[in-house]
Amino acid sequence: MKEFDKYKSVGLNGDFEILIGSSKTCTICLTEKEVPEIAKKHAVLKRIRDRLFIKDFASKSGTFIDNHRLPKNSWEEIIQQGFKEIKLGNTPIGIDAQLFRGRPRIGIKTTALHYDISGKIVCNGAYIQAQPGSMTAIMGPAGCGKSILLDLINGYRTPNSGKVFAIRDNIPINVHHDYSLVREWLGYLPQDDVMIPELTVYQSLNYCLRLQFTCLNQQIREYIIRQTCQNLGFDQVRLEKFLHTVIGSAESGIRGLSGGERKRANLAHELIAMPLVLLLDEPTSGLSSVDADKIVRLLQKLTQLDDLTTIATIHQPSRDTFERFDNLLLMNYDGTVIYYGSTAQAVPYFEFVTETTNTDRNPAEYLLEILDKSDYNNKLINGIAKEQFKFIMPL
């Protein structure tokens, strides 16, 4: 097999388009000896964020993925674990693993954040340290400041004190100072979506891609839309129906998507931009526990597969859904943190501090009930001071 070491000299940060052929003008210039029957302009490799596409330029000997000859002049995605061999004519070529990952992963780290609205403290020392590949749940009673905390992390609001950093290659980048750099990495799903009810899902996603990536051609856009929605759990038949349904809304009087479909359409708008950090405000609200778990399972899959940093506020998750999160940030009514550590240790910690037992109940319900009982307040505050560090996992 011919290893394409020549790629390494091309400079592989960010998006690229690499022309392969025998012509001197190609980025990768190959001789007839190296690849018999190579065309002057044979094929082109294109990377958009973390996705790699290939196109054959109507070459005589063709370009093949696992012996399937690519149609002429049409883009096909190369999926890292999805192929065995790529050939130019009869010559196999090696595709370096680093070609599939266009960007370093991004973690999130904050110092203690403080924020008030007209003098009322709504964030009182909350902080987050989230690694790529991890899922963090933010829970707490209604009005405790979960959405505000997400807004502070995503750069929409600036804390009165405290800092938010995106961590890239171990270098902290201040989200509020360098917002223009960081914003491309952040995907934010607001609790109330802002989709245009008159459009079909396909039209809306297509506009969204056109606005964000001016250089993508229609064929790649179409591909990204379909693939993203398939990842969201639609099979071929349901996918067509979903894409061609009008979004609709109660206010506009246009009947459209169901609640679960609407959440997924909303999520698709974020995912097509290929964010590295996913901030989600109640991605499961209004859904049945089965649909809610489907969404969180999907987020878990994407987080692990793409090494995303996922942080979601969540309301009343089922036990299964709760356990899909690696870490839990539990907030109290006054915008303070009452627990921040591994999800698995949360119940044992509160059992210890409050001297109660949860037995088989839903962990989320147990935790929120404890916050609701003011007689535990002192115990919890003292518990935080004395005991929490025993339980909190190192992040």
> Which C-beta is closer to Mg ion: that of 183 or that of 315?
315
Region 212-271 residues binding Mg ion, contact defined as CB under 5 A: none
Cα–Cα separations (whole angstroms), residue 84 to 35, 55, 78: 19, 17, 10
> Which C-beta is closer to ligand ADP: that of 187 or that of 335?
335
User: What is the rounded CA–CA span in Å between residue 204 and residue 199?
Assistant: 6
Phi (first) and psi of residue 3, to 5 degrees: -80, 135
Give the binding range for Mg ion (CB under 5 A) out of 10-18, 147-155, 221-229, 377-385: 147-155
Q: Return the bridge partners of 121, or none.
A: 116
Give the binding range for Mg ion (CB under 5 A) out of 36-44, 141-149, 227-235, 250-258: 141-149
Phi (first) and psi of residue 377, to 5 degrees: -55, -50
147 part of the interface to Mg ion, by CB under 5 A: yes
What does 203 interact with, of ligand ADP, Mg ion, none (CB < 5 to 8 A by kind)? none
CB-CB neighbours of 205 under 10 Å: 25
158 part of the interface to Mg ion, by CB under 5 A: no
The pair of three-digit structure tokens given for residue 35, joined into one six-digit string: 């690849």
Largest alpha-carbon pair distance within the chain?
A: 81
Quote the least distance from Cβ 214 to ligand ADP, whole Å.
34
Quote the least distance from Cβ 367 to ligand ADP, whole Å.
14
Q: 319 with 363: CB under 8 angstroms?
A: yes
User: What is the rounded CA–CA span in Å between residue 248 and residue 268?
Assistant: 16
> Which C-beta is closer to ligand ADP: that of 122 or that of 308?
122
User: What is the rounded CA–CA span in Å between residue 43 and residue 93?
Assistant: 12
CB-CB neighbours of 283 under 10 Å: 23
Q: 166 with 180: CB under 8 angstroms?
A: no
Q: How remote is the C-alpha of 63 from its chain's centroid?
A: 32
Cα–Cα separations (whole angstroms), residue 157 to 118, 123, 150, 151: 14, 12, 9, 6
Quote the least distance from Cβ 164 to Mg ion, whole Å.
18
Q: Please tell me whether residue 230 adopts helix, strand or coil conformation.
A: helix
Q: Burial, 184: exposed, middle or buried (Cβ in 10 Å; 0-12, 13-18, 19+)?
A: middle
Mask 347-366, x = binds Mg ion (CB under 5 A)? --------------------
Quote the least distance from Cβ 103 to ligand ADP, whole Å.
30
> Which C-beta is closer to Mg ion: that of 21 or that of 145?
145
Quote the least distance from Cβ 138 to ligand ADP, whole Å.
8
What does 87 interact with, of Mg ion, ligand ADP, none (CB < 5 to 8 A by kind)? none
Q: How remote is the C-alpha of 14 from its chain's centroid?
A: 18
Using alpha carbons only, give the angle 59, 64, 67 rounded to the nearest 5 degrees.
135
> Which C-beta is closer to ligand ADP: that of 144 or that of 302?
144
> Which C-beta is closer to ligand ADP: that of 125 or that of 133?
125
What does 175 interact with, of Mg ion, ligand ADP, none (CB < 5 to 8 A by kind)? none
> Which C-beta is closer to Mg ion: that of 33 or that of 120?
120
Give the binding range for Mg ion (CB under 5 A) out of 31-39, 143-151, 356-364, 371-379: 143-151
> Which C-beta is closer to ligand ADP: that of 93 or that of 287?
287
With CB atoms as reference, the residue minimizing the distance to Mg ion is 147
Which residues of the shown chain bind ligand ADP in the complex (CB under 6 A)? 117, 122, 140, 142-148
Quote the least distance from Cβ 154 to Mg ion, whole Å.
13
User: What is the rounded CA–CA span in Å between residue 85 and residue 181?
Assistant: 36
> Which C-beta is closer to Mg ion: that of 22 or that of 316?
316
Quote the least distance from Cβ 376 to ligand ADP, whole Å.
19
Quote the least distance from Cβ 30 to ligand ADP, whole Å.
57
- 326: Cβ–Cβ under 8 A, 6 or more apart, which residues? 134, 135, 136, 342, 343
Quote the least distance from Cβ 313 to Mg ion, whole Å.
6
Give the binding range for Mg ion (CB under 5 A) out of 140-148, 229-237, 291-299, 318-326: 140-148
> Which C-beta is closer to ligand ADP: that of 86 or that of 371?
371
Q: How remote is the C-alpha of 168 from its chain's centroid?
A: 16
Quote the least distance from Cβ 335 to ligand ADP, whole Å.
7
Residues that bind Mg ion (CB under 5 A): 146-147
